[in-house]
Amino acid sequence: MDSFGSDFSAGGAGGPGGKMDTGMMMEQVKVQIALANTQELLQRMTDKCFKKCIGKPGSTLDNSEQKCIAMCMDRYMDAWNTVYRTYASRLQKESGRM
């Protein structure tokens, strides 16, 4: 995330008058938001699946723990994708009404 701040301060001026290209700035913000959302998704998924599947933490995972983790993560991603598609669809419908 350090690159986020440096992108805007170091050599970020472009075009006439030294102003930052608004489109480029918006793209950088979108990328940073997507990265933060992905990191949060992975953290939540890891926390939930670890709590569900790992009874006694140790140095290795047995086969049942490995299968549980894999299935839990698959289900979590399926659910997240369903919610995301529904949300994106609603946003698209709402933007069409305006």
Q: Are 12 and 22 in contact (CB under 8 A)?
A: no
User: What does the alpha-carbon distance between residue 18 and residue 8 come to, in Å, rounded to a whole number?
Assistant: 12
Interval 71-85: pLDDT, tens: 999 999 999 999 999
Q: What does the block give as tokens for 92?
A: 């698209």
Instruction: Decide which of 54 and 12 is more confident.
Output: 54
- Total-model pTM: 0.62
Per-residue confidence (pLDDT) for residue 94, from 0 to 100: 87
Interval 29-79: pLDDT, tens: 999 999 998 899 999 999 999 999 998 888 999 999 999 999 999 999 999
CA-closest candidate to residue 79, choices 44, 32, 39: 44
**What are the residue boundaries of the structural domains of the chain, listed by start?**
61-98
Per-residue confidence (pLDDT) for residue 11, from 0 to 100: 46
Q: Are 22 and 38 in contact (CB under 8 A)?
A: no
Per-residue confidence (pLDDT) for residue 12, from 0 to 100: 47
Integer CA distances (angstroms), 21 to 48, 82, 88, 95, 96, in order:
41, 35, 27, 25, 28
Per-residue confidence (pLDDT) for residue 16, from 0 to 100: 54
